[in-house]
Structure 1
Amino acid sequence: MTADTELLTVPEVMAYLKVGRSTVYDLIRTRQLASLTVGRARRIPDCALTDYIHRHLEQEAA
């Protein structure tokens, strides 16, 4: 993570991936999508979302 890393909210990730809230939390719970807690809020670094997408694209191509 770098200083210019943007932290996304769960609803932002939901909209980006076009999936539901439970799917995002399942990805976090199963450690497929890295996240951190700020206070009581869950945040996903934009680089973690990019990494998740790249991993899935590589798996689909294999």
Structure 2
Amino acid sequence: MDIGTIHSIWTVLLFVCFIGIVLWAYSKRQKPRFEEAANLIFADEEKDSATREKDRSKEA
């Protein structure tokens, strides 16, 4: 086995891993999980605004 064959096998393995990751990332089963993760930053804003409204009602 020469170095060219080893590089070819390595390239094919990496390509198969890449295709596997792409299929996993774009599968319909993962979509709800990724959408929830994408909206996590907005959950903090909702909590902050709810806390601010609660503080304002206490002051009044």
> What is the TM-score when the length of structure 1 is the normalising length?
0.31
User: Of the two, which has the highest radius of gyration?
Assistant: 2
Q: Which has the higher strand share?
A: 1
Q: Which has the higher helix share?
A: 2
